Structure 1
Amino acid sequence: MRAAPGASRLAGAVALTQLIGWGSTYSIPAVLARPMAEALGMPLAVAFGASSAFLLAMAGISPWLGPAFERRGARPLLALGSLTLAAGLGLLAASPNPAVYFLAWLVMGAGGAMALSNGANVLLAERLGAGARRAISAAMLVSGLASTCSFPVMLWLEPELGWRGTLAVYALANLLVCAPLHWIVPGPRPTPAPAPAPAPVVPPGEAEAPPPARPAPAVAAAERARFAWLALAMSLAGMISWGLGVALPETLAALGAETRTAVLLAGVVGVAQVAARGVDFALRAPWPSLSLAILAAAGMPVAFATLGLGGGSVASAVLFACIYGAGTGLLSVCRATLPLELFDPGAYARMVTRLALPMNLAFAAAGPLFGWLLSVFGAAGPVWAGFLGALGALAALLRLRALR
């Protein structure tokens, strides 16, 4: 399918705003949690808990945004989201105590619900229709580097400006770069909906035509079933990737890897994620999203079994990191593109904002859950929980294919 004129500029603008948006929000605690905790007098674990508050706020607000996206279009909500992120980051930079600190993260979560991931994908679907998959893949390929780009920036700025100054710079980036880009959104304009046809004139003495038939109950029930299985599959897959993203270095260390080796192996996961997304983007005739999701999910139990049965060897850990990283990288793309394939493209905004509630709740619970499993059961806890969760995600996707 030939890309719409200006689609590359649109995808590039969205990719840049997502790179800045995610890098200036969710990535913050990884580098700045310790100085923020020390300055505000709170435990380090509490400072890290802000990321869960951020995701919970996104989960609570996202379902309410579907009608707004459909009624007003994505552009104004994306711009408002970037302004809200800037305000939240400014409040975070000025936080005098833990209460304001968490309030700032809730404000940022509200902004993220509008400006991050779902909002950007809605914009691409709105402008490009059913052909948005390639643009979504491109944007996610770049945004997957958010932490890779943001960590060095924070490590460079924090000694010079302090954590408050670093957050102020991030607030300005959202205010002066992301908000204007979202407002002008270069690229193809959305096609206006055709005006409704005038009602036919009924000659006297003739019966009026019956009103258009509503969707049959069986059709609506089938759509609800597809949505439920999709939500289950993506929530399980996301819980694994977000939970293990926090616990993986410690899990590998508990299996016997040295600390330096464990960190390097965890880095291999990120490389495999980006590489898999790059291959998906490079394919001119990509696989259907559901087939790609099933393939990616099928590799996940294999990866966890390899790690769990590998006896802590470096070879088994490297193989796990490659298979697991590629699988999670592809599933993150499928999470954004499957609603385009499974439902009416015109309902994309409604579907992705509804999906955001169970997925973000799962993401928010993932870190504490996998941390608890590691502390209670050792390395076996996260590994075999990941194995079972991956089997569940695969089963849900296979059921989804049977319902098509």
Structure 2
Amino acid sequence: MLFAASSGALPPRTLPIAVGALTVTQVVGWGTTFHIPAVLSSRLSAGTGLSKEIVFGGITLMLLVAAALSPAVGRVLDRDGCRRWMVAGSALVALGLVTLALAEGPVVFGAAWVIFGAAMPLALNQASSTALVQISPGRARRAIALLLLLTGLSSTIAWPFLIWLDGLVGWRHTLLILAAVNVLVCAPLHLACLPSGRVLVEPALPPSRPSDQDPTDRRPIPGAYGLAAVAFSLGGMLTWGLPLHMIGILQGFGHSETTAVSIGALVGPGQVLARAFEMLGGERYGILAIGVGSGVLMILALGALLLWGALPVGAVIFSIGYGLSGGLMSIVRAVAPLRLFGAATYATMIGRLGVWQNAAFAAAPLGFALVLERFGSAVLVWMALAVGLACLVALAMLARRAAAVQAG
């Protein structure tokens, strides 16, 4: 037993019910925070008098605040369980939306994104993954993969809905309606579908292969935290920083805007395929082996772009390979801490890792934009390749040390 329970063993359907509820709340949560500038940037800029650069800077502010708060949030999630804090996170998202709807200038606009940053570790990935781990560490890997697969549709759902609602009632009323959705839909789902207090989890299921360590095993892996922080942050720089510039990168290799948009759109299917692979058969492999595979795919994708990027086939190979790598890496970031540090302190450790990851996520879009503007696509891809190689080395070292501990 990893946690004290206030109500005995959990019913067998607790995990699938939680996955279903969290799918809804994560799609809504991401769609009503991170995706807002992508759709409403022109409206926000005109309504607040701020430039589009500052509007998109709200995401950077959100990520930096989330980075600062992630360790403390991790500790309280491990201590108290996730239900009450995820309810609070949904309420904070609603408060941020109301604040953003009232914004007339930079102060209130910035306050809204600070609130979103405070809500992020409570309402989004950190808490949702922790909730699944606390319910069942032995089945958490597949549950997290399924949740990531389904919530990958957040932009597909959110963007058309935001455009439709904005055309119907205007952007300020759109934000107020979204606030109501978080209060009336997400908060009740968290309250009704997640266990209360510090939940009881059953013993982990038997490992499917020797490479899959029991998630209740707390044997220390030398340097695990440092290597994980380096690998996940560098990998996150690529998976968060490059997509925003995908069209510009492909245009830099000689493709028209129309072709660049069409080829760049293949990243999404690649991510879905990667998460589907994990769902259907990925558990046959250790999660750190999946991480190394993700790093190799990223290197191959970037290499294909450098070698054949001027040809449509090279750009297609890059987009699909990049999507596959990013999809796998998102699973590795969520599941590997369970493999490395165990279930009892899972939230604390992903909170500590979140400091470096969110800082990297926040810096990457602007940093890559500056490189692309000043030096061009080829230099940016060479820089990304160097980052990818460093990420792969860290992942390989981490996997090797974990295997040595497991064998010992």
TM-score between the two structures when normalised by the length of structure 2: 0.89
Contact 2:85–2:122 at 8 Å: present in 1 too? yes
159-168 or 354-363, larger mean C-alpha shift: 159-168
Structure 1: gaps (5+ residues): 195-218
Unaligned runs of 5+ in 2: 1-10, 203-216, 403-408
1:149-160 aligned within 5 A:
149-160=157-168
Contact 2:255/2:310 (CA < 8 Å) preserved in 1? Answer: yes
Aligned 1:275-294 pairs, distance under 5 A? 275-283=273-281, 285-294=283-292
Which residue of structure 2 lines up, in the alignment, with residue 246 of structure 1?
A: 244
Correspondence list, 1:61-100, <5 A = 61-100=69-108
Match of 2:348 among 347, 350, 353: 350
CA gap of 1:343–1:130, structure 2 versus 1, over 3 A, is farther
- Computed over aligned residues only, the root mean square deviation of the Cα atoms, in angstroms, reads 2.1
Match of 1:398 in 2: 396
Identity %: 35
Give deviations 1:278-316, integer Å, cap 9, x for gaps.
121122844211011111111111110110121411110
Which digits, 9 at most, give the CA deviation of each residue in 1:84-111, with x for residues without a partner?
Answer: 0110011101112121111101101101
Q: Does 2:121 correspond to 1:123?
A: no
**Correspondence for 1:180 among 174, 185, 188:** 188
Letter matched to residue 263 of structure 1? V
Distance 1:283 1:331, change over 3 A: same
Native 8 Å contact 2:30 2:124 kept in 1: yes
Report the Cα distance in structure 2 between the residues aligned to 1:102 and 1:286, rounded to whole angstroms.
45
Q: Which residue of 2 aligns with 1:298?
A: 296
Asked if 2 retains the 8 angstrom alpha-carbon contact of 1:130 and 1:340, the reply is: no
**Contact 2:253–2:309 under 8 Å retained in 1:** yes
Q: Is the 8 A contact 1:242 1:367 kept in 2?
A: yes
Mapped partners of 2:196, 2:140: distance in 1: 12
Question: When the two structures are aligned, how many residues end up with a matched partner?
Answer: 378
Q: Is the 8 A contact 2:82 2:194 kept in 1?
A: no
Structure 1 contact 125–345 (Cα < 8 Å) conserved: yes
Query: In 1, distance between residues paired with 2:395 and 2:16?
Result: 31
Q: Which residue of 2 aligns with 1:360?
A: 358
Which residue number corresponds to residue 61 of structure 2?
Answer: 53
8 A contact 1:9–1:187 mirrored in 2: no
CA contact (8 A) 2:81 2:131 kept: yes
2:40 maps to a residue whose letter is: L
Name 2:50's counterpart in structure 1.
42
Larger Rg: 1
What amino acid sits opposite 1:400 in the alignment? L
Equivalent AA in structure 2 for residue 114 of structure 1:
L
TM-score, structure 1 length as denominator? 0.90
Kept in 2: contact 1:31–1:154 (CA 8 A): yes
1:274 & 1:304 partners in 2: Cα distance? Answer: 19
Distance in 1 (alpha carbons) for counterparts of 2:160 and 2:352: 35
CA distance in 1, matches of 2:332, 2:293: 11
2:25 is matched with 17
